[in-house]
Structure 1
Amino acid sequence: MRQFLIAGIAGLSLAGATTVAALVAWPIGSDPRKIEPEGDVQRGAYLARASGCVACHTNFEEGGAALAGGAPLNTDFGTFYPPNLTTDPDHGLGNWDVEQFAKAIRQGIAPDGTPYYPAFTYPFYANFSDQDIADLWAAFQTVAPVAESTPEHDVGFPFDQRWGLKLWRAAFFGAPETAPVDGKSAEWNRGRELVRGAAHCAACHTGRNLAGGRDPSAFFAGNDALPGGNKAPSILPATLAERGWTVDNLSYALQSGITPSGDVFGGSMGEVVQNGTRFLTQADLRAMATYLMEGEGLKESAVAALSTPQKTYD
């Protein structure tokens, strides 16, 4: 009996090792097509603000240089450190090319082929066009190099096993729904593009499951477990209306940080406004507010949006 037990354990161990080896070898992503458009620095800088790049990758609390690495994100899975995005060749993007940049932004895969942790909000950027990528790349090329490294992520087992992220991607990584909707105004569609894409509002305002994936049943319904103990309220249309929000005062709040009651946004939302949305045009702020206030049956459409199986992105 003991021999059979030992043989059984050995067999299970071998099967487990084989499974892990297969996952480690499992290729992810695809080689991006050549980025042909010429980048527009100003448009790229604008998109970087809208996408939260400056807000996340700058450690304002420590007086850090812009994009030289952000403040730590303390989560249930460990502490993540947003990396250096300056043109420094050793610690930043100085040795990258635009195609590697495209793969990182749209697919969440580093130049060495390893997947990024989803603390990086790459799932929301999967639909960025080649022109978007070229513009962002042009803007990042103007950032002065800062020779500062960021700490390694402090993540315990089993979350420190990068191959496990391949399973996470298969379960939760799908392109966001940002395409225009027929019958809706250009303003509403522009708001949809920003809210669901670049501005990645659902990253904070949607609850998460135990695996860290967004919960389809809680889309835009708020999240009480943000990094650092912060909370994000519901931004569903009915909730916003009940709390006195309108298109006018919401667009103003996204620019100024001042709420209808005369209070100001604090915590994560305060940082979003201070380092991101206040730089957006009045037209884009109003578009975002219009989309959020009108909605589109978000609770129903979220199931399809967040259950999209993984696909190959360029």
Structure 2
Amino acid sequence: MRRVAFLSGGTAACVAVALTAVIAWPVGSAPKPITTEGDVNRGAYLARASGCIACHSNFEAGGAPLAGGAPLKTDFGTFYPPNLTTDPEHGIGGWTAESFAKAIRQGIGPDGEPYFPAFPYPFYAEFSDQDIADLWAAFQTVAPVPEAAPDHAIGFPFNQRWGLKLWRAAFFHDPGTEPLPGRSAAWNRGRELVRGAAHCGACHTPRNLAGGRDPDAAFVGNDALPGGSKAPSIRAGNLAKNGWTVSSLSYALQTGLTPSGDAFGGSMAEVVREGTRFLTPKDREAIATYLLDADGGAAE
């Protein structure tokens, strides 16, 4: 019995040491100074492409743009996107360009704590310094809203942010937005948008029990989206089988209308309303070109 008790005590001690190490384990790296001059218009465009307005605006409740608060209900609890206005207390008015860069590309707040992956920061990891500078310049033009977004409603153990360090180690991967040789400029631009700013895989790729995307099932669809909605497959073969063409998909990203005359619903309707309809025709066509690529496109 003493031996069993000793082993049990030793195991508990090892677990405690390991847990302490994980909690103390620093994540992320200090960003380099952002010295590039930002372009407000390009930043506003990138914010639309990245879904910032759609996620961080609670328009249904009469909220101001980018003031946060729109609930995102998941199996892990309900997440409330934060206030991104220039309010210094409740928004990002007290941030620096460098802390903004770390949040966008690394998913880590100014306090050093990791963000929950409800924020799709893995898709933004390859944003350039120019992208960050442009976004930062655009966000500086947003009027302050002195209201805090509600706290996340997440139960134990998912509310333990130290656990996100393990999640990041397992699921925070390079989004792969860099251009590939031998492909057209339109295809590579579509790749950059689909796998990066537009973060299509956030909804159209299934997730495991830990909330990580399945890399072997990229873009095959997801039947378990927040709020109980679904996202269909957007792999080239499935899109073609369902009658999509580059022209019709480009048009749908502008209007929300499908080849059958139906209209997008749910979260995709919001994506079009607050995001893709603001893209240039060339960028919408690039997205469609990439997704409908006969050689695999998004499923490369």
> TM (normalized to structure 1)?
0.93
Asked if 1:40 is matched to 2:39, the reply is: yes
| Structure 1 residue 233, shift from structure 2 partner | 0.2
Q: After superposition, where does 1:110-259 map in structure 2 within 5 Å?
A: 110-259=109-258
Q: For the Cα contact (< 8 Å) 2:81–2:149, is it kept in 1?
A: yes
Q: For the Cα contact (< 8 Å) 1:68–1:84, is it kept in 2?
A: yes
Q: SS where residue 73 of structure 2 aligns? A: strand
> C-alpha deviations, 1:206-244, integer Å up to 9, x for none?
000111100122210000000000100000000000100
Q: Cα–Cα, structure 1 residues 275 and 300, in superposed 2: closer, same or farther, change >3 Å?
A: closer
| Structure 1 residue 155, shift from structure 2 partner | 1.1
Q: State the match for 1:68 in structure 2.
A: 67
| Structure 1 residue 10, shift from structure 2 partner | 2.1
Q: Cα–Cα, structure 1 residues 270 and 47, in superposed 2: closer, same or farther, change >3 Å?
A: same
Q: After superposition, where does 1:298-309 map in structure 2 within 5 Å?
A: 301=300
Q: State the match for 1:270 in structure 2.
A: 269
**Letter aligned with residue 283 of structure 1:** K
* 2: CA distance, partners of 1:136 / 1:282: 21
| Structure 1 residue 299, shift from structure 2 partner | 7.6
* 2: CA distance, partners of 1:231 / 1:41: 35
Asked if 1:50 is matched to 2:42, the reply is: no
Q: Cα–Cα, structure 1 residues 299 and 5, in superposed 2: closer, same or farther, change >3 Å?
A: farther
* 2: CA distance, partners of 1:124 / 1:216: 13
Q: After superposition, where does 1:7-22 map in structure 2 within 5 Å?
A: 7-22=6-21
> C-alpha deviations, 1:96-141, integer Å up to 9, x for none?
0000000000000000100001000000000000000000000000
* 2: CA distance, partners of 1:199 / 1:300: 16
**Letter aligned with residue 265 of structure 1:** F
| Structure 1 residue 251, shift from structure 2 partner | 0.2
Q: Cα–Cα, structure 1 residues 174 and 163, in superposed 2: closer, same or farther, change >3 Å?
A: same
* 2: CA distance, partners of 1:300 / 1:228: 26
* 1: CA distance, partners of 2:44 / 2:93: 18
* 2: CA distance, partners of 1:154 / 1:277: 30
Asked if 1:95 is matched to 2:94, the reply is: yes
**Letter aligned with residue 286 of structure 2:** A
Q: SS where residue 162 of structure 1 aligns? A: coil
Q: For the Cα contact (< 8 Å) 1:89–1:95, is it kept in 2?
A: yes
Q: For the Cα contact (< 8 Å) 1:236–1:295, is it kept in 2?
A: no
- RMSD in angstroms over aligned alpha carbons? 1.1
> C-alpha deviations, 1:240-293, integer Å up to 9, x for none?
001000000000000000111111100000000000000000000000010011
Q: State the match for 1:291 in structure 2.
A: 290
Unaligned runs of 5+ in 1: 302-314
**Letter aligned with residue 57 of structure 1:** H
Q: SS where residue 29 of structure 1 aligns? A: coil
Unaligned runs of 5+ in 2: none
> TM (normalized to structure 2)?
0.98
Q: For the Cα contact (< 8 Å) 2:235–2:296, is it kept in 1?
A: no
**Stretches of 4+ moved more than 4 A in 1?**
none
Q: For the Cα contact (< 8 Å) 1:194–1:200, is it kept in 2?
A: yes
